[in-house]
Amino acid sequence: MIAPILLVVAFAGLALIVRGAQRRGADEIAVGAIGYVAAAGVSWLVVGVSGTTLVLPAVGIGALGGASCALGFVLLASAMKTKGAAIAAAAMNLGVLVPILAAVAVWGERPGLTAIIGIILAVIAMPVLALDKGIDHEPLTPRRVGLLLAVFLVNGSVLAFSDWFHAYGLLSARPLYVAVFFTVAAISAAVYWRSHGERLLRRQELAWGALLGVDNAAAGLLTLYGLDAEMASVLFALVGALTLASVVVFAAVVWREMPGRAGWIGLATAVAALVLAKL
């Protein structure tokens, strides 16, 4: 149970670090690229210490996951600018539907009745939160709906890739998977930033990026270890709901990014999902 709890901390940390950097005027894409570089460095250090050998599934799936992760980060950062941390995190965590459906349809996972009830409530909670008007108090437009949908699909695919690799049971290759994952993410994010950036890195972006890198590396490994403790269909629903609750509360209390009525209803539903899914 420790790994899923730590995974919630890591996932919530990702959203809050990115939003915190934005609020202080940092270039969030630069922060993301630096974060991936730092995470890759830490991961390759673990590979060197553990003596992990080359395993093709770790390289192939890790590369696919890393490219998706970088794209998901760009989309998430864009959503946060207009909708705030809570609503963007809602769209991101709604992506748990992707690996949940994959786990049931492809790998034949069969969660119990109480877990199914918790999953259903978690699934209900996320779109309700996503419908909240956010920090700019503007209604959803077709463009914003498309952006939130893209955040949902791409970030969901990242979790699905991790579940796919976990299904191989290659315990010793996990550090290599995470290292390849973040190396590809770092290259992808750096290329995007260089194609759009117009200035040099500042000290605050390096600091925020280093913090994000540690969080990224922890999240990557904890996702795999969390799948040892829970089925993907249960783990991702529970972690997604609790991550949402954490981000919403923090953003409301510390940053005064207050959700509207839909946001609070979604938060209450998420808490109920956590209770029922673990009974």
pLDDT at 129 over 80: no
> Amino acid identity, residue 192?
Y
Task: Tell me the backbone φ, ψ of residue 260, rounded to 5 degrees.
Answer: -85, -165
**Residue 257 pLDDT:** 78
Task: Tell me the backbone φ, ψ of residue 246, rounded to 5 degrees.
Answer: -65, -45
pLDDT at 278 over 60: no
For residues 154 and 72, is the Cβ–Cβ distance under 8 A? Answer: yes
Domain boundaries, the chain: 2-277
The residues, ordered by sequence, that sit 6+ positions from 145 with a Cβ below 8 Å of its Cβ are none
The secondary structure of 91-138 as a DSSP string is HHHHTTHHHHHHHHHTS-----HHHHHHHHHHHHHHHHHHTS-TTTTP
pLDDT at 87 over 80: no
In sequence order, what E strands does 20-91 have?
none
Which tokens sit at 180? 């390849």
Which of 157, 156, 185 has the alpha carbon at shortest distance from 43? Answer: 185
**Residue 182 pLDDT:** 95
Average pLDDT over residues 142-158: 82
Describe the crossing of helices 56-94 and 142-167 by its angle, rounded to 10 degrees. 140
For residues 238 and 4, is the Cβ–Cβ distance under 8 A? Answer: yes
**Residue 210 pLDDT:** 93
pTM for the predicted model, two decimal places: 0.82
Reported as a single tens digit per residue, the pLDDT across 170-227 is 888 999 999 999 999 999 999 998 887 656 788 899 999 999 999 998 888 888 888 8
**Residue 178 pLDDT:** 93
**Residue 118 pLDDT:** 73
**Residue 279 pLDDT:** 53
**Residue 133 pLDDT:** 63
**Residue 213 pLDDT:** 93
The residues, ordered by sequence, that sit 6+ positions from 75 with a Cβ below 8 Å of its Cβ are 147, 150, 151, 154, 155
Which of 61, 10, 56, 54 has the alpha carbon at shortest distance from 213? Answer: 10
Reported as a single tens digit per residue, the pLDDT across 216-272 is 988 888 888 888 887 777 788 778 778 878 888 888 888 887 777 777 787 777 777
How many C-beta atoms lie closer than 10 Å to residue 28's C-beta?
Answer: 26
- Split at pLDDT 50, 70, 90, the class of 137 is low
Average pLDDT over residues 135-161: 78
Reported as a single tens digit per residue, the pLDDT across 5-52 is 888 899 999 889 988 998 888 888 899 999 999 999 999 998 999 887
pLDDT at 274 over 70: no
Q: Could you give the 3-state DSSP secondary structure of residue 163?
A: helix
Average pLDDT over residues 111-139: 70
Average pLDDT over residues 70-96: 81
